[in-house]
């Protein structure tokens, strides 16, 4: 009997890449691959890459360089690069790193089985097309193995916004939404396998407009369809754009019990001048009024955001406007970054901010965001929240889960199992988590 081949996937970047890596593993499972715990034991290595952060491509080349010795020891080892760096630099990857056997873009990974066969025959295989066929429909159905209580589910890909700093429209393509019936089928399958919370994913998820039985559905309408799935207890979605936060979605936050009180709504900057240069198509004021409407619908909602500091031509006054916006919104969590150029984007050609100044601004912004995050977390003490338990904690009898607001919660002397939902009273706040006790 032939021993199964081993597949090792290293995933960089966002939750969509995590989802993509799962589906790539499933696609190659049909070729006889099982999971490898490390690159050393693999018959095939895939790097699923992200192009958002600074020097993303160079990090990939550095990682590939570490595999040279392994490739020399195992001549039959196949190495592939997938994801957004693959899409952006496919031919260059092949030229610079001859040890790479295949390169596949994020819209073509349903073709991995046939690409793997060609690679096994000694071919160098490159596929960075934007194919017309639906990759999700072409992929094999997920195996019926047991899953953890939470899962990602991609519903939308690509972006039409063309923010001046972003490569997503070039690496993921135009906005495309999956048909609602296929999403619902996949959601039911996940629930059958033990999933109780699903996070809907998209580069611009609230622009979802997937085909339904009686016309296209909005994201809110899709959420209400998912609300009917028996056994699915929690729904989340990420990442959103302020311009696509429609009335029905705001209303759903106030009326759909399964939709959790957490919203990631990036603003990027608080200066209208910088927002215009970013091509964000909204203002600081319109964003603030949108937050007011969302909180009117769901007063306890936790708001999360993204920020870029040191964007080309940003002045100290522009940065102060960002701090002012943060002070007004009061974020429960946020992600902040120093601007880094992405070749091929409009902002890359503009006058850059002094890196020392940008570093200073980032530290000041992060200090403010950290203070707000801790204040909101501390305010949870004494409150009752729902917690979905995911795994045992480090101490005997302890369980770890996530609250409705996505806070990590530790519960001692807990007789619940992974996948259980329980009411918990928060008793203390730690640096990046909360401690609670069971109520029921």
Q: Which residue has the higher pLDDT, 205 or 143?
A: 205
Task: Give the tokens for residue 194.
Answer: 């033990």
| 5-11 β-sheet, strand order | 33-35, 5-11, 44-49, 78-83, 102-104, 125-127
Residue 128 φ/ψ, nearest 5 degrees = -125, 35
Q: Which residue has the higher pLDDT, 276 or 345?
A: 276
Summary mean pLDDT of the chain:
91
156, 202 Cβ separation under 8 angstroms: yes
Q: Which residue has the higher pLDDT, 70 or 134?
A: 70
For the CA atoms of the chain, what is the radius of gyration?
A: 23
Q: Distances from the Cα of 8 to the Cαs of 34, 41, 265, in angstroms?
A: 9, 8, 33
Per-residue pLDDT tens digits for 266-318: 999 999 999 999 999 999 999 999 999 999 999 999 999 999 999 999 999 99
pLDDT of amino acid 279: 96
Query: What mean pLDDT comes out for the span 210-227?
Result: 96
Domain locations in the chain?
A: 5-127, 136-378, 384-438
Measured in whole angstroms, the distance separating CA 434 from the mean position of its chain's CA atoms is 23
Q: What is the CATH number of domain 5-127?
A: 3.40.50.12160
* Own/partner long-range contacts of 178-183 (Cβ < 8 Å, ≥24 apart): 178/134, 178/136, 178/154, 178/210, 179/210, 179/211, 179/212, 180/210, 180/211, 180/212, 180/213, 180/217, 180/222, 180/225, 181/212, 181/213, 182/136, 182/137, 183/153, 183/155, 183/210, 183/222, 183/226
Pick the CATH number of 384-438 from 3.90.1720.10, 3.50.50.60, 3.90.105.10, 2.40.50.140: 2.40.50.140
320 burial (CB, 10 Å; 0-12 / 13-18 / 19+) is middle
Share of the chain above pLDDT 90, in %: 65
pLDDT of amino acid 359: 97
Share of the chain above pLDDT 70, in %: 94
- Under the banding of pLDDT at 50, 70 and 90, the label for residue 178 is very high
Measured in whole angstroms, the distance separating CA 334 from the mean position of its chain's CA atoms is 14
- Residue 256 is assigned to a ligand binding site: no
pLDDT of amino acid 85: 81
Answering whether pTM is above 0.75, one says yes
113, 102 Cβ separation under 8 angstroms: no
Residue 1 has pLDDT above 50, yes or no: no
Per-residue pLDDT tens digits for 191-218: 999 999 999 999 899 999 999 989 999 9
228 burial (CB, 10 Å; 0-12 / 13-18 / 19+) is exposed
- Under the banding of pLDDT at 50, 70 and 90, the label for residue 141 is low
Task: Give the tokens for residue 215.
Answer: 């016309």
- Residue 50 is assigned to a ligand binding site: yes
pLDDT of amino acid 18: 85
pLDDT of amino acid 2: 61
Q: How far apart are CA 131 and CA 140, in angstroms?
A: 17
pLDDT of amino acid 260: 98
- Under the banding of pLDDT at 50, 70 and 90, the label for residue 21 is confident
- Residue 84 is assigned to a ligand binding site: yes
Per-residue pLDDT tens digits for 153-167: 999 988 899 999 888
- Residues 6+ away with beta carbon under 8 Å from 94: 100, 103, 124, 126
Class of domain 136-378: alpha beta
Per-residue pLDDT tens digits for 404-439: 999 999 999 999 999 999 999 999 999 899 999 999
């Amino acid at each position: 009997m032939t021993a199964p081949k081993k597949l090792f996937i290293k995933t960089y970047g966002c939750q969509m890449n995590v989802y993509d890596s799962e589906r790539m593993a499933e696609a190659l499972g049909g070729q006889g691959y099982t999971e490898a715990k490390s690159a050393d034991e693999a018959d095939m290595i895939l790097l699923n890459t992200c192009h958002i952060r600074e020097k993303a491509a160079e990090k990939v080349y550095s990682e590939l360089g570490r595999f040279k010795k392994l490739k020399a020891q195992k001549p039959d080892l196949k190495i592939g690069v997938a994801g957004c760096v693959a899409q952006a630099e496919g031919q260059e990857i092949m030229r610079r790193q001859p040890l790479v056997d295949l390169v596949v873009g994020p819209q073509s990974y349903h073709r991995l089985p046939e690409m793997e066969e060609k690679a096994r025959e000694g071919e160098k295989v490159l596929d960075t097309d934007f194919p017309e066929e639906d990759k999700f429909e072409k992929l094999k159905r997920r195996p019926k193995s047991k899953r953890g209580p939470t899962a990602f589910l991609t519903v939308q890909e690509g972006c039409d916004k063309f923010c001046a700093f972003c490569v997503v429209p070039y690496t993921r393509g135009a906005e495309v939404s999956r048909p609602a019936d296929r999403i619902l089928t996949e959601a039911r399958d996940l629930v059958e396998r033990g999933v109780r919370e699903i996070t809907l994913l998209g580069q611009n998820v609230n622009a979802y407009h997937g085909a339904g039985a009686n016309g296209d559905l909005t994201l809110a309408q899709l959420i209400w369809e998912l609300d009917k799935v028996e056994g699915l207890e929690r729904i989340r979605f990420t990442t959103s754009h302020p311009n696509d936060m429609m009335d029905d979605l705001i209303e759903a936050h106030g009326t759909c019990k399964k939709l959790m009180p957490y919203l990631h709504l990036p603003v990027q900057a608080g200066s209208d001048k910088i927002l215009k240069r970013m091509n964000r198509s909204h203002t600081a004021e319109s964003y603030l009024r949108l937050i007011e409407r969302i909180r009117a619908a769901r007063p306890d909602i936790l708001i999360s955001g993204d920020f870029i500091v040191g964007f080309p031509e940003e002045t100290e006054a522009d940065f102060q406007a960002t701090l002012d916006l943060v002070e007004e919104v009061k974020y429960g969590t946020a992600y902040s970054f120093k601007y880094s150029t992405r070749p091929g984007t409009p902002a890359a050609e503009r006058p850059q901010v002094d890196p020392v100044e940008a570093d200073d601004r980032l530290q000041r912004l992060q200090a403010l965001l950290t203070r707000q995050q801790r204040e909101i977390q501390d305010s949870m003490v004494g409150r009752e929240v729902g917690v979905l338990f995911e795994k045992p904690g480090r101490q005997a009898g302890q369980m770890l889960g996530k609250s409705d607001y996505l806070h990590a919660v530790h519960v001692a002397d807990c007789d619940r199992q992974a996948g259980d939902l329980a009411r918990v009273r928060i008793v203390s706040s730690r640096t990046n988590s909360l401690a609670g006790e069971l109520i029921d």
